[in-house]
Chains A and B, each alone.
Chain A
């Protein structure tokens, strides 16, 4: 009788599998003593929350919070599939990013996996303390599904040392016309560019689109990125990054481009870049060598007296319906977002200003920041916070971004071949075609 006839190789694999199985039996999954689990994708947030843990334990001894960092794409895919398929592996609290929140609003309203926080927001008085344009993003069919974490106003960051040595007077650059005119003077093709702008990715373009009051969708969910504002923005933007006389450098996008971005910044390859509050902390962390050499200025306006900021990114804290103790989750979320001590620590780590108006007077936001040449970074961003444009969420925002980026690529290609002749017509055609694609998806029987 042969007990195991398959030979040596399978025997080794079998033993390995049995050993692994045994180990897994001995280490059953996640028996944590935490009674509240928070998922987030943002490393800086997590560091701040972990630092706030002792204070949280002190304020609420009954809360044992465990904070987990999860890959951005994975977090959304896992959470969506949990909601759709009633899987038990859900966090109690979760931070969701602005570009993906729309997907959660697909399908019947009762299938939305987040708790509607509107009653709690109204009851606690938070509702009136939050920058109103920031609530729009997290609302759907009458519900508000999260507490906003931020306002994310945008400024321009620049290499102050180089700008000084070149004699650039940033105060005079209060309109884009002036900025571009200066950019043409100081850009040296292949060596130095005035500003870092994405050529293929919509990151920069949408920032300008928002600044001019445009966007992907209006408050009713209509597609608007082919309206006259969008056409004008595109016509203005493309020559900045393409062809002769361009003042923008593109360093590519994606994870791997980050290394290049900091390296190029340190080498003075470009002077200015779009900098929402959250990004300023990244510069501090990854380019410590530039301390004291950087500064911030409000964005130039499109016309004198126009809006001098925009908005980029955004996060909310949501409570899942699966959460067993929602009161506990609510007070924890509030603590993490509004506790003054935690907020000041969090601000020092992330540079993110809160969306709560009454918090803006706290001293931490008015301290000079040595890295940014002693500027009062918080105060500067707060000064712009009330004028940020709204961003409306929609199940098709991700699609719309992709479509706008296709239109952008088509327009840059057209411009690099044909220049400005017939350019506006091409833009109009490209944007309408892209927007119609999104409309087609919208029309396709949405399950409500």
Chain B
């Protein structure tokens, strides 16, 4: 009797993980793996909606690499990503360092206020900033006018579209990244700072030799995540520019290019091809980032 129970017990124990993970795997296979494989196939077709398609071989890729709009989209997206990484992350790190000082009154308030823009979704931020950037009457221009009397056409001047987007993203994401840095900073042992101070290291030295090594893994993670996130820029630009790529395609991003060809013009095949090129590009960039930052060697 007891033997049977324990065998039943063992069976239950060994079958349990399969049963537990099965629902996940099934959903994953239907809505992730299948489309993934399917998109590889679709990338070699031209379609008009899901009903009619013709096989074109590598033509989608050939066409893409000869399309100046594609390069425009890549250029815009890369510039935006650079803006995110090199403007947003230093700001985030700076805020985190300021907050990381020993406890002082109001610290939680500041942390909350820096972080709270993140609760706005990008569509709502886009709607809000679309109005804030209105020429002449908008809040941004009114504040600018305090210092410098000029009327800036943020969203209709091709040269200013990307800066406007980067500024908006700075507002939206700086707090989020700050939280990551803050957590990393707090995990650096206090004794290391003590030791550095005893050795007579100044603030810069402390940062370079104690802080930076301590937060490096997190920094690499944050850099990679913001790069990947930036390359997926779509709704912020799309909604802010009133459902368009902006003047002279100044706000055209890779995903917008994909959306327009796939879901506005109906070419799901070409959209898949764009998606795969983006994936490969991101893979290469992530690889290099890991290589440069030495994350791979660990």
**A residues with CB within 8 A of B:** 71-74, 76-77, 80-81, 83-86, 103, 106-108, 111, 200-201, 251-257, 259-260, 263, 402, 405-406, 409, 437, 440, 444-445, 447
Contact = CB atoms under 8 A, between A and B. Distances in A.
B46 interface: yes
Contacts of A254: 155-156, 241-242, 244, 247
B66 A252 contact: no
B242 A256 contact: yes
A78 to B, nearest CB: 11
A263 B156 contact: no
A101 to B, nearest CB: 14
Given A84-B48, A254-B244, A260 B136 contact: yes
B158 interface: yes
Contact of A405 (B155, B242, B248, B265): B248
Contacts of A80: 49, 264, 266
A111 B63 CA distance: 25
Binding site secondary structure of chain A:
helix
Given A106-B266, A200-B248, A406-B249, A257 B135 contact: yes
B155 A256 contact: yes
Contact of B242 (A76, A108, A255): A255
Contact of A84 (B51, B69, B243, B248): B51
Given A263-B136, A406-B249, A437-B68, A81 B48 contact: no
Interface string B223-255: 000000000000000000111110111000000
Given A200-B156, A406-B249, A445-B46, A108 B52 contact: yes
B49 A201 contact: no
Interface string B248-272: 1100000000000001111000000
Given A263-B136, A445-B54, A409 B248 contact: yes
A108 B158 CA distance: 37
A414 B131 CA distance: 32
B66 A111 contact: no
Smallest CB-CB A-B distances: 4 pairs: A84-B49, A252-B156, A107-B48, A73-B243
A107 B52 contact: yes
A440 B67 CA distance: 9
B279 interface: no
Given A106-B266, A253-B247, A409-B248, A85 B50 contact: yes
B25 interface: no
Contact of B137 (A85, A86, A259, A402): A259
Given A263-B136, A445-B54, A81 B156 contact: no
A256 B133 contact: yes
20 contacts: A73-B243, A73-B244, A81-B49, A81-B263, A81-B266, A84-B49, A84-B50, A103-B265, A111-B49, A200-B247, A200-B248, A252-B157, A252-B247, A256-B133, A257-B156, A406-B248, A409-B248, A440-B63, A447-B47, A447-B54
Binding site secondary structure of chain B:
loop
Chain B's interface size range is: 35 or more
B248 A256 contact: no
Q: Kindly name the residue among B156, B157, B247 whose own CB sees the greatest number of chain A CB atoms within 10 A.
A: B156
A444 to B, nearest CB: 6
Interface of B: 46-54, 56, 59, 63, 66-69, 130-131, 133-137, 153, 155-158, 241-245, 247-249, 263-266
Contacts of A86: 51
B158 A409 contact: yes
A279 to B, nearest CB: 18
Given A80-B266, A444-B59, A85 B241 contact: no
A200 B153 CA distance: 12
A111 B52 contact: yes
Nearest to B266: A84
A58 B49 CA distance: 41
A106 to B, nearest CB: 5
A248 B53 CA distance: 47
B197 to A, nearest CB: 42
Nearest to A434: B68
Given A81-B263, A84-B266, A252-B135, A111 B48 contact: yes
Contacts of A259: 134, 137
A398 to B, nearest CB: 8
A25 B266 CA distance: 33
Contacts of B249: 402, 406
B247 A447 contact: no
Contacts of B66: 440
Contact of A256 (B67, B68, B134, B158): B134
Q: Kindly name the residue among A103, A252, A437 whose own CB sees the greatest number of chain B CB atoms within 10 A.
A: A252
B48 A106 contact: yes
A389 B247 CA distance: 27
Nearest to A433: B68
Contact of B49 (A76, A85, A253, A440): A85
Contacts of A256: 130-131, 133-135, 155, 242
A242 to B, nearest CB: 14
B61 to A, nearest CB: 13
A406 B246 CA distance: 11
Contacts of A253: 156, 247
A64 to B, nearest CB: 31
A107 B266 contact: yes
Contact of A106 (B133, B157, B242, B265): B265
Contact of B46 (A201, A263, A447): A447
Q: Kindly name the residue among A71, A72, A107 whose own CB sees the greatest number of chain B CB atoms within 10 A.
A: A107
Contacts of B63: 440, 444
Contacts of B242: 254-256
B161 to A, nearest CB: 11
Contacts of A201: 247
